[in-house]
Amino acid sequence: MRFTVFVSHSMKRGDKNFIKSIKDQGLLAGCSLYFAEDDHQPGVRLDSKIENAIRSSDAFLALVTKHGALSAYVQQEIGFARACDKPRFLVVEKGVSAEGFELGAEHVEFDRKNPQRAFAIIGSRLARLKADNDLTTLLLVVLLILGAFILLCCSKSR
Protein backbone atom coordinates (compact mmCIF):
# COMPACT_ATOMS: atom_id res chain seq x y z
CA MET A 1 0.00 0.00 0.00
CA ARG A 2 1.22 3.48 -0.87
CA PHE A 3 2.32 5.58 2.10
CA THR A 4 2.40 9.29 1.27
CA VAL A 5 4.35 11.92 3.16
CA PHE A 6 3.59 15.59 2.49
CA VAL A 7 6.87 17.54 2.52
CA SER A 8 6.65 21.18 3.57
CA HIS A 9 9.63 23.38 2.76
CA SER A 10 10.79 26.80 1.68
CA MET A 11 11.02 27.60 -2.03
CA LYS A 12 14.05 29.88 -1.60
CA ARG A 13 16.97 29.20 -3.91
CA GLY A 14 19.31 27.45 -1.43
CA ASP A 15 16.48 25.28 -0.16
CA LYS A 16 15.35 24.28 -3.66
CA ASN A 17 18.80 22.78 -4.29
CA PHE A 18 18.67 20.93 -0.97
CA ILE A 19 15.17 19.59 -1.77
CA LYS A 20 16.43 18.38 -5.14
CA SER A 21 19.22 16.46 -3.40
CA ILE A 22 16.67 14.84 -1.06
CA LYS A 23 14.63 13.73 -4.07
CA ASP A 24 17.70 12.55 -6.01
CA GLN A 25 19.21 10.60 -3.10
CA GLY A 26 15.95 8.93 -2.14
CA LEU A 27 16.63 9.71 1.51
CA LEU A 28 13.18 8.50 2.54
CA ALA A 29 12.93 5.30 0.52
CA GLY A 30 9.74 3.31 0.95
CA CYS A 31 7.58 6.42 1.14
CA SER A 32 5.93 8.36 -1.62
CA LEU A 33 7.02 11.95 -1.01
CA TYR A 34 4.56 14.65 -2.01
CA PHE A 35 6.06 17.96 -3.13
CA ALA A 36 3.42 20.52 -4.11
CA GLU A 37 5.63 22.00 -6.81
CA ASP A 38 5.68 18.63 -8.62
CA ASP A 39 1.88 18.29 -8.61
CA HIS A 40 0.76 20.53 -11.47
CA GLN A 41 -2.98 21.29 -11.35
CA PRO A 42 -3.66 24.27 -13.63
CA GLY A 43 -6.75 26.21 -12.60
CA VAL A 44 -6.83 24.79 -9.05
CA ARG A 45 -6.34 27.23 -6.21
CA LEU A 46 -2.99 26.66 -4.50
CA ASP A 47 -4.48 26.68 -0.99
CA SER A 48 -7.04 24.03 -1.99
CA LYS A 49 -4.36 21.88 -3.59
CA ILE A 50 -2.18 22.06 -0.47
CA GLU A 51 -5.07 21.38 1.92
CA ASN A 52 -6.26 18.38 -0.10
CA ALA A 53 -2.74 16.98 -0.32
CA ILE A 54 -2.19 17.30 3.44
CA ARG A 55 -5.60 15.74 4.18
CA SER A 56 -4.90 12.76 1.90
CA SER A 57 -1.33 12.20 3.12
CA ASP A 58 -0.43 9.61 5.74
CA ALA A 59 2.17 11.80 7.44
CA PHE A 60 3.61 15.30 7.32
CA LEU A 61 7.29 16.28 7.22
CA ALA A 62 8.43 19.90 7.63
CA LEU A 63 11.94 20.84 6.62
CA VAL A 64 12.70 23.82 8.81
CA THR A 65 15.72 25.52 7.31
CA LYS A 66 16.73 29.12 7.98
CA HIS A 67 14.36 30.11 5.14
CA GLY A 68 11.67 27.58 6.14
CA ALA A 69 11.56 28.93 9.69
CA LEU A 70 10.65 32.35 8.27
CA SER A 71 8.17 31.04 5.70
CA ALA A 72 4.52 31.82 6.43
CA TYR A 73 3.58 28.98 4.05
CA VAL A 74 5.57 26.40 6.01
CA GLN A 75 4.01 27.59 9.28
CA GLN A 76 0.51 27.50 7.77
CA GLU A 77 1.09 23.99 6.40
CA ILE A 78 2.33 22.81 9.81
CA GLY A 79 -0.77 24.31 11.43
CA PHE A 80 -3.10 22.69 8.90
CA ALA A 81 -1.41 19.28 9.33
CA ARG A 82 -1.84 19.69 13.06
CA ALA A 83 -5.54 20.54 12.63
CA CYS A 84 -5.90 17.40 10.47
CA ASP A 85 -4.22 15.38 13.24
CA LYS A 86 -1.53 14.09 10.89
CA PRO A 87 1.60 12.52 12.35
CA ARG A 88 4.08 15.40 12.07
CA PHE A 89 7.85 15.26 11.84
CA LEU A 90 10.06 18.32 12.04
CA VAL A 91 13.53 18.19 10.59
CA VAL A 92 15.29 21.35 11.73
CA GLU A 93 18.52 22.66 10.25
CA LYS A 94 21.41 22.95 12.69
CA GLY A 95 21.47 26.46 14.16
CA VAL A 96 17.81 27.20 13.35
CA SER A 97 15.22 27.69 16.08
CA ALA A 98 11.99 25.69 15.63
CA GLU A 99 9.17 28.05 16.51
CA GLY A 100 5.56 28.69 15.60
CA PHE A 101 2.91 25.97 15.69
CA GLU A 102 5.31 23.27 16.81
CA LEU A 103 7.16 25.24 19.47
CA GLY A 104 8.43 22.72 21.99
CA ALA A 105 7.81 19.72 19.73
CA GLU A 106 10.55 17.14 19.53
CA HIS A 107 12.43 17.41 16.27
CA VAL A 108 15.41 15.93 14.46
CA GLU A 109 18.32 18.24 13.76
CA PHE A 110 20.09 17.98 10.42
CA ASP A 111 23.33 19.27 9.02
CA ARG A 112 22.88 20.41 5.41
CA LYS A 113 26.31 19.01 4.49
CA ASN A 114 25.47 15.57 5.91
CA PRO A 115 21.69 15.05 6.21
CA GLN A 116 21.80 11.23 6.05
CA ARG A 117 21.76 10.72 9.84
CA ALA A 118 18.65 12.85 10.34
CA PHE A 119 16.84 11.23 7.44
CA ALA A 120 17.76 7.75 8.70
CA ILE A 121 16.03 8.61 12.00
CA ILE A 122 12.96 10.01 10.24
CA GLY A 123 12.93 7.13 7.74
CA SER A 124 12.95 4.61 10.58
CA ARG A 125 10.04 6.33 12.33
CA LEU A 126 8.07 6.60 9.07
CA ALA A 127 8.69 2.89 8.37
CA ARG A 128 7.18 2.00 11.77
CA LEU A 129 4.23 4.32 11.11
CA LYS A 130 3.74 2.75 7.67
CA ALA A 131 3.86 -0.77 9.17
CA ASP A 132 1.24 0.23 11.76
CA ASN A 133 -0.87 1.74 8.99
CA ASP A 134 -0.56 -1.42 6.87
CA LEU A 135 -1.57 -3.60 9.83
CA THR A 136 -4.60 -1.40 10.56
CA THR A 137 -5.65 -1.59 6.90
CA LEU A 138 -5.23 -5.37 6.88
CA LEU A 139 -7.31 -5.72 10.05
CA LEU A 140 -10.08 -3.56 8.56
CA VAL A 141 -10.13 -5.68 5.40
CA VAL A 142 -10.31 -8.89 7.46
CA LEU A 143 -13.16 -7.43 9.55
CA LEU A 144 -15.05 -6.39 6.42
CA ILE A 145 -14.66 -9.86 4.89
CA LEU A 146 -15.69 -11.48 8.17
CA GLY A 147 -18.71 -9.17 8.43
CA ALA A 148 -19.76 -9.94 4.85
CA PHE A 149 -19.38 -13.67 5.55
CA ILE A 150 -21.54 -13.42 8.69
CA LEU A 151 -24.22 -11.47 6.80
CA LEU A 152 -24.15 -14.03 4.00
CA CYS A 153 -24.46 -16.91 6.47
CA CYS A 154 -27.31 -15.20 8.34
CA SER A 155 -29.24 -14.49 5.15
CA LYS A 156 -28.88 -18.13 3.97
CA SER A 157 -30.19 -19.50 7.27
CA ARG A 158 -33.49 -17.59 6.96
Q: What is the mean pLDDT of residues 47-54?
A: 95
pLDDT reported for residue 151: 66
pLDDT at residue 139 tops 60: no
Q: Mean pLDDT for the chain? A: 79
- Among 16-20, 33-37, 57-61, the least confident range: 16-20
pLDDT reported for residue 27: 52
pLDDT at residue 137 tops 60: no
What are the pLDDT digits (tens) for 66-122? 888 888 999 999 999 999 999 888 888 888 876 665 655 677 787 877 777 776 777
Q: Report which of 81, 83, 75 is spatially closest to residue 101, judged by C-alpha positions.
A: 75
Q: What is the mean pLDDT of residues 33-44?
A: 91
Spell out the domains of the chain, with CATH numbers in brackets. Answer: 4-130 (3.40.50.10140)
pLDDT reported for residue 141: 59
Q: Are 43 and 94 in contact (CB under 8 A)?
A: no
What is the distance between the alpha carbons of residues 62 and 124, in angstroms, rounded to a whole number? 16
pLDDT band at 130 (very low <50, low <70, confident <90, very high): confident
Residue type, 94: K
Q: How far is CA 135 from CA 19, 60, 113, 128, 148, in A?
A: 31, 20, 36, 11, 20
pLDDT reported for residue 129: 73
What is the distance between the alpha carbons of residues 57 and 60, in angstroms, rounded to a whole number? 7
